[in-house]
Amino acid sequence: MCWIELSMRKNLAIKLLFTGRAMSQRRPPRSHTVNFWSKCVSSAMFSENRFAGFSAESLCERILDSSCSLLITTDAFYRGEKLVNLKELADEALEKCREKGFPVICCIVVKHLGREELGTGDSPSQSPPIKRPCRDIQISWNQGVDFWWHELMKEAGDECEPEWCDAEDPLFILYTSGSTGKPKGVVHTVGGYMLYVATTFKYVFDFHAEDVFWCTADIGWITGHSYVTYGPLANGATSVLFEGIPTYPDVSRLWSIVDKYKVTKFYTAPTAIRLLMKFGDEPVTKHSRASLQVLGTVGEPINPEAWLWYHQVVGAQRCPIVDTFWQTETGGHMLTPLPGATPMKPGSATFPFFGVAPAILNESGEELEGEAEGYLVFKQPWPGIMRTVYGNHERFETTYFKKFPGYYVTGDGCRRDQDGYYWITGRIDDMLNVSGHLLSTAEVESALVEHEAVAEAAVVSHPHPVKGECLYCFVTLCDGHTFSPTLTEELKKQIREKIGPIATPDYIQNAPGLPKTRSGKIMRRVLRKIAQNDHDLGDMSTVADPSVIRQLFTHRCLTIQ
């Protein structure tokens, strides 16, 4: 889509909007999503965006919490070979909202996969081309509430004056997981957020006008907001928008797209890298990838083995890697290398971005100098910082500022080495105190995946009658390897050699899969529950594949090994 087409679509859309009201979007096709968000900014409309994996109940809860008046959805989409009927889920959610006394006034449906004859007064001559016709999909229609997007657009003009906004007007709400399992509605504002994502995009990816940028993140998460939509658009970037999964129709899908569109800057998650590592080098190396100049990682700390494979195989040892640390709450990059300027260390997020002031605190709140490990905090604000938790400012203050007054508390542990490089060690609640020794789950996980049989690992705390806490490890094996007592002993030996005897796990469980969000983050809160055989899992709306959880309960370790 060219810039003039995007501008015209945005202007066509504005007639639907009501200044100051909230709109909720349930991930239509990606080009439409970019269009919707640009129109929200132009019309001073507050948007609340969510990925397509929520249940109807979870969707209802978020609509109620954000007081959304308008829902935009697509009829359906494919995730690999699986057909997902979004309209059906949206209908169920809106019915639940009505039952709870909050009727959403309008549901706008984008025709993406539906049959030509679907809809009211619709005909093949009047409706847009179907991207991927699906003869099996059935959608219901609620007169007076449901409207086809393309029909509403017919009467709109090509031009519309923008609505002027204050820099601190809200831009969007984005829900993120809370430690209690109850999601938080993170609020970002127009001026600060847009400035920060535009600036970080430009410098972290060394953006130039001729670049083709591709971020593989789900557009409904913060990475999709900041580095699929707002950051690239604010810089006039040419971007690839990808709808699908990296292993369909085959495991070389990403690299064929890189070659097809001559992608120069590529940004993905460590989870995706580790997934593709399982299939070896050949699916990567059979494609040229000659256009690639900068590689990036986002979402979680990347273990050195995955970093090296990404650098040596995907980047052919010539592309710098920007290993970025940031959060939904920060809006944009906080710790990151600058490509070509920062000497890299595999697994380190290196140094703070311009104007960012990190510190490492101990349990007493004292700043630690030099080599140190403790709580990662920030000492001063930055333009992209969240402004509040929607509808609950007290929770905002309690969550991010109460533990260490005067600092923004990330909730992550961090280590600073002798060269001043920062290493994210994982969530603080994923730090373990074993017999008085503070252990990083990320460090143990990294040791596990160095074994040739292990594709992925996750480590959580488990109560221990003597040590206080012990390590409970979940390991996903590479193809061709079998879980056995012999392998368990090999893994324990490897951890003892890499870290020390104190880090020897008490439990190692076979994990055919790990519970993850749609954006690829491992749900460690859920793993802690599984380890303790606690079936009260809290909010599970963001889990990508619920069947994995049932398998993990079945394979749970019952006694100390």
Per-residue model confidence (pLDDT) at position 121: 40
**Coil, strand or helix: which one is 561?**
coil
Provide, rounded to the nearest whole percent, the portion of the chain with pLDDT above 90.
Answer: 56
pLDDT digit string, tens, across residues 360-414: 999 889 999 999 999 999 999 999 999 999 999 999 999 999 999 999 999 999 9
> Does 175 score more than 60 pLDDT?
yes
pTM confidence score: 0.79
Beta bridge partners of 110: 74
Which of 6-20, 34-48, 285-299 shows the highest mean pLDDT? Answer: 285-299
For the chain, domains (ranges, CATH) are: 3-163 (3.40.50.980), 184-425 (3.40.50.12780), 435-554 (3.30.300.30)
Mean pLDDT over all residues of the chain?
86
Per-residue pLDDT band at 30 (split at 50, 70, 90): low
pLDDT: is 1 or 272 the higher one? 272
Q: What sections of 14-85 are H helices per DSSP?
A: 30-42, 56-66
Q: Which of 409, 445, 398 is nearest to 270 (CA)?
A: 445
Handedness of CA 197, 424, 371, 494 (dihedral sign): negative
Per-residue model confidence (pLDDT) at position 117: 45
User: What average pLDDT score do residues 496-507 get?
Assistant: 87
> Does 159 score more than 60 pLDDT?
yes
Virtual torsion, Cα 125, 127, 131, 136, nearest 10 deg: -90
**Angle, alpha carbons 284-288-294 (nearest 5°):** 85
pLDDT digit string, tens, across residues 424-469: 987 776 667 787 566 778 889 989 999 999 999 999 999 887 787 8
Characterize the bridge pairing of strands 265-268 and 212-215: parallel
pLDDT: is 225 or 542 the higher one? 225
User: What average pLDDT score do residues 164-191 get?
Assistant: 84
> Does 295 score more than 80 pLDDT?
yes
Least confident window among 22-26, 112-116, 170-174, 350-354: 22-26
> Does 557 score more than 50 pLDDT?
yes
Using alpha carbons, list the distances in angstroms from residue 291 to 30, 252, 256: 24, 16, 12
Least confident window among 173-182, 308-317, 461-470: 173-182
pLDDT digit string, tens, across residues 253-278: 999 999 999 999 999 998 889 889 98
Per-residue model confidence (pLDDT) at position 52: 55
CA 373 to chain CA mean position, Å: 26
Per-residue model confidence (pLDDT) at position 8: 56
Beta bridge partners of 476: 456
Which of 170-174, 214-218, 384-388 shows the highest mean pLDDT? Answer: 384-388
Per-residue model confidence (pLDDT) at position 120: 45
Least confident window among 306-315, 316-325, 426-435: 426-435
pLDDT digit string, tens, across residues 61-116: 888 888 888 899 988 888 888 888 889 989 999 999 999 999 888 999 988 886 54
Provide, rounded to the nearest whole percent, the portion of the chain with pLDDT above 70.
Answer: 84
